[in-house]
Amino acid sequence: MPICRRLFFDILCIWGDLCVQSCEKFDRIKCKIFYQGDHLKNTFKLFAGDVRAITRHFFAFVIIIAITIIPALYAWFNIYANWDPYGNTGNVAIAIASDDKGYNDRDLSQEAIETITESKSIKWVVMNSGDEARQAVRSGKYYAAIVFADDFSRRMLDINYALENSGAAMSFIENTKKNPVANKIVETAAETVQHSVQVQYLDELFKTVLKNVQQVADETDPESTVNSVVSQLTTLRDSLRQTGTAIDSFTAKSENIDNLLNGIGDTAGTIGSLVENGQTGVSQVQQSIDSAANALNVLEKGLDGKLTEINKQLDELSAALKRLAENKKLIEAGEKWDAMLEDAEDAAGKLHDQLTALKDALPETSATTYVRSTLDGLILRTEQLQSQLKMLKTGTPVSDAAAIIDSCSNIVSTMDDLLVNTLQPAVKAMTDSMQTLLKSMSPVLSSLSVTIDGIAPVLSTTGDTVKDIAAVLNRLKVVTDKGADALDEALAKIDKLKGDDKINALITLLGGDTESYAEFLAAPVKVVESAVYPVGSYGTAMAPFYSCLAIWVGCVILVAIIKVEAEPKTLNYITEGQKYWSRWLLFAIISQLQAAVIVFGDVYLLHCSCDNLLAFWGAGAFTSLVFITLIYSLTLAFGDIGKAIVVVIMVVQIAGSSGSYPIELLPDVFGSIYVFFPFPYAINAMREALCGFYGMDYWIYIGELMIFGAVGVLVGRLVRKPFIKVNAFVEHELEETEVL
């Protein structure tokens, strides 16, 4: 071991001397790459001195070796811990229990439990009761529990009962305190159970339906069944076509409706002014109606008196005719007969005139229709009475005269009945109705004016609504047309088949394997997964994040253990630039060793799948170079404050670099700032190398990383200068405390 260590030290010293000699050669040919010929030579002299100092001290050498390996251990342990976390979900215990009472000699919960527990992705523990399972979750013994309700089977087998009762068929209880990640796992398991139960329910449902359909198909005449199906399809097709035609009709008329609404809106103002004028005339109308009512009352009394008088005269005339007919003394009674006929004709004429005048006085409106109809009946009977009286006056035989007089009496009696029981109540009802109408007209007209004012905006909204309806109906017509076209195609295919072929096609469908049909209908969609960039394991997917984090941690350890500012004791006239680059070379080489150990350990020790090992190592090496430049410069420029800044940057990048969770799932603040940190670009470059390349993305990420390296150089060479004295003062003050 001493011989090997001495040999390693001699090799490093020889390499340092060669670097110095190279610098002397560059100086001799007056190299103009740097602003002085001694710049590069002094830089390498300082670097060679640092190497000798490390290699000549055993403990310093051991510390450097430890610094090189420790960051890799950090990455490897985290990657291995996340290698396949979801492959061990079979150790996550979830209780499952049933309180189901069964239904129709079926216990579907037990059948479901048997199916669920066959899966080994979760450690299912069957409990005796739901209460026992809940208590086990509360105590922390199990992460969660699934309990089937006491009416689970009935809900599955009786759809009416399930619709009438809104309770849950299953309960899911979880202990959210136990572990946050485990909660997500058990929630996924619960969703899987729910899906399994739903598939089982649909399977049972479709089995029952298909068996019933098959039974009906067996009992039904095949030819009539086919014709019935074709007839129903044809009816449905015709209905869809008619719906499309109706939609076209509405769409064509929608423009006319819109124009009509605009016209109504324009006339709304005119209507409002008319209503205002109507209000001013209400009092006049009221007075007219009062006068009409008084006139009607007077007329009622007059009609009643006239009819009573006529009825009395007809009674006397009837009695006289009877006596004449019995005694055959027409000549003696002649004078009295003529006088009685003249009185009756005069009374009938006056009655006819009064009835006609009353009818003419009433307006032809819906309110007076019934009254005018009654008056027409009375006038007709009065005319009949006048006709009968004329027949008596022309010398009618006594026997016929008695019959005519009886007819006249009947007519008068009918007229009296119409007057008392029909006309008088109708006139009263008409006048009362008109009075009520007049009292209500004023507030109605007032409210009508307000209503007219609100018509315009309503009509505007209605116009918009008509347009919206037309647009929706146009989209609906597209659907109905497609449906009708599909039915046309189906009917055409059926028509092409012969009669026996049609029957056989339906029988094949209805008479097939109901088990297979039910299984397919319960879960008709099958998903095929294919990875565009396949990754061997979850640990491989996490390797870029933890590798970048380990490189950053390694760089932080370097600036924490090795002094960031070179202190040459044997060289004179050393510039700040020479000291910066010489110490940067030391940090860069050690960080490259760290990156190499991390990268090759990921692949060869942990066996992470890697699409391109050289590119993976290149991404790690360049990431390490950028990280050490940035960290070294910040620490050199700001001292202990710079170290604190480096730690803060690391903490922020751990949370918000999208290394483990997609940036879309993180709070918005991380989505806004993560682009200003180097982690995302380094992680993406490593992902390209591990999982597969897409275009020039790998080189784009490397180019974006270079920006952070340039920023680090600017901080170390330019920003540092104003803070040199400040850092010296801060360090002096911290040393004065004898604590920091």
Give the residues across from 123 on adjacent strands: 93
CA distance linking residue 461 with residue 467, whole number of Å: 10
Burial group, residue 67, by CB count within 10 angstroms (0-12, 13-18, 19+): buried
Name which of 575, 722, 565, 631 is nearest 34 in CA terms.
575
Q: How many helices (H) and strands (E) does the chain have?
A: 24, 4
Three-state SS string over 109-163 comes to HHHHHHHHHCCCCCEEEECCCHHHHHHHHHCCCCCEEEEECCCHHHHHHCHHHHH
Is residue 197 within 8 Å of residue 170, measured between CB atoms? yes
Q: What residues contact residue 725 under an 8 Å CB cut-off, 6+ apart?
A: none
The single residue listed with the structure tokens 């990268």 is: 599
Residue ranges of the chain that CATH labels 3.40.1710: 85-219
pLDDT at 241: 72
**Does the pLDDT of residue 562 top 60, yes or no?**
yes
CA distance linking residue 108 with residue 152, whole number of Å: 7
CA distance linking residue 589 with residue 44, whole number of Å: 13
CA distance linking residue 685 with residue 702, whole number of Å: 7
Is residue 521 within 8 Å of residue 202, measured between CB atoms? yes
Is residue 351 within 8 Å of residue 307, measured between CB atoms? yes
DSSP 332: T
Name which of 584, 557, 619, 596 is nearest 712 in CA terms.
584
**Does the pLDDT of residue 168 top 90, yes or no?**
no
Neighbours of 415 (CB within 10 A): 25
**Which pair of structure tokens corresponds to residue 564?**
């960031």
Residue with the bigger pLDDT between 115 and 489: it is 115
**Does the pLDDT of residue 92 top 80, yes or no?**
yes
- Please give the CATH topology (third level) of the domain spanning 85-219: abc type-2 transporter like fold (3.40.1710)
Edge-to-edge strand ranges of the sheet holding 144-148:
123-126, 93-98, 144-148, 170-174
Is residue 352 within 8 Å of residue 379, measured between CB atoms? yes
Give the residues across from 170 on adjacent strands: 148
Q: 452 by DSSP, 3-state: which?
A: helix
Name which of 693, 698, 559 is nearest 618 in CA terms.
698
CA distance linking residue 506 with residue 515, whole number of Å: 18
Is residue 19 within 8 Å of residue 48, measured between CB atoms? yes
Q: How confident is the model at residue 164 (pLDDT cuts 50, 70, 90)?
A: confident
pLDDT at 247: 61
Q: What residues contact residue 255 under an 8 Å CB cut-off, 6+ apart?
A: none
CA distance linking residue 334 with residue 165, whole number of Å: 98
Is residue 720 within 8 Å of residue 636, measured between CB atoms? yes
CA distance linking residue 597 with residue 589, whole number of Å: 13
Q: How confident is the model at residue 311 (pLDDT cuts 50, 70, 90)?
A: low
Residue with the bigger pLDDT between 231 and 703: it is 703
What confidence tens digit (pLDDT) does each residue in 225-238 have?
556 666 766 776 67
**Pairing mode, if any, of strands 170-174 and 144-148?**
antiparallel
Residue ranges of the chain that CATH labels 1.20.1420: 287-477
**Does the pLDDT of residue 711 top 50, yes or no?**
yes
Q: 571 by DSSP, 3-state: which?
A: coil
**Which pair of structure tokens corresponds to residue 138?**
């509360």
Q: What percent of the chain has pLDDT over 90?
A: 21
H-assigned helices in 328-422 = 334-361, 369-393, 398-418
CA distance linking residue 82 with residue 88, whole number of Å: 11
**Which pair of structure tokens corresponds to residue 736?**
């004065």
Q: How confident is the model at residue 542 (pLDDT cuts 50, 70, 90)?
A: very high
Query: What is the helix, strand, coil percentage profile of the chain, to 5?
Result: 80, 5, 20
The single residue listed with the structure tokens 């610098």 is: 23
Give the residues across from 162 on adjacent strands: none
184-212 per-residue burial string, b: 16 or more CB within 10 A, e: under 16: ebbeebbeebeeebeebbbbbbbbeebee
Ramachandran area for residue 327 (φ above 0: left; ψ -120 to 50: alpha; else beta): alpha
CA distance linking residue 341 with residue 347, whole number of Å: 10
pLDDT at 174: 86
CA distance linking residue 697 with residue 684, whole number of Å: 9
CA distance linking residue 97 with residue 109, whole number of Å: 9
Name the pTM for this structure: 0.54
CA distance linking residue 544 with residue 540, whole number of Å: 8
Residue with the bigger pLDDT between 342 and 124: it is 124
Query: In CATH, which of 2.60.40, 3.90.380, 1.20.1420, 1.10.260 is domain 287-477?
Result: 1.20.1420
Residue with the bigger pLDDT between 385 and 85: it is 85
The mean-pLDDT minimum among 190-194, 376-380, 429-433 falls in: 429-433
pLDDT at 602: 94
CA distance linking residue 664 with residue 685, whole number of Å: 20
* Torsion angles phi and psi, residue 126, rounded to 5: -80, 125
CA distance linking residue 77 with residue 69, whole number of Å: 12
Is residue 375 within 8 Å of residue 295, measured between CB atoms? no
Helix axes 576-600, 613-638, angle to 10 degrees: 140
DSSP 174: E
Residue with the bigger pLDDT between 331 and 136: it is 136
Residue with the bigger pLDDT between 661 and 288: it is 661
**Does the pLDDT of residue 625 top 90, yes or no?**
yes
CA distance linking residue 510 with residue 507, whole number of Å: 5
Amino acid letter, 237: R
Section 311-325 average pLDDT: 52
* Torsion angles phi and psi, residue 198, rounded to 5: -65, -40
Q: How confident is the model at residue 264 (pLDDT cuts 50, 70, 90)?
A: very low
Q: 511 by DSSP, 3-state: which?
A: coil
* Torsion angles phi and psi, residue 124, rounded to 5: -85, 130
Q: How confident is the model at residue 611 (pLDDT cuts 50, 70, 90)?
A: very high
**Does the pLDDT of residue 66 top 80, yes or no?**
yes
**Does the pLDDT of residue 29 top 60, yes or no?**
no
Is residue 374 within 8 Å of residue 418, measured between CB atoms? yes
Name which of 483, 463, 536 is nearest 255 in CA terms.
463
Report CA 340 to chain centroid distance, whole Å. 96
pLDDT at 517: 56
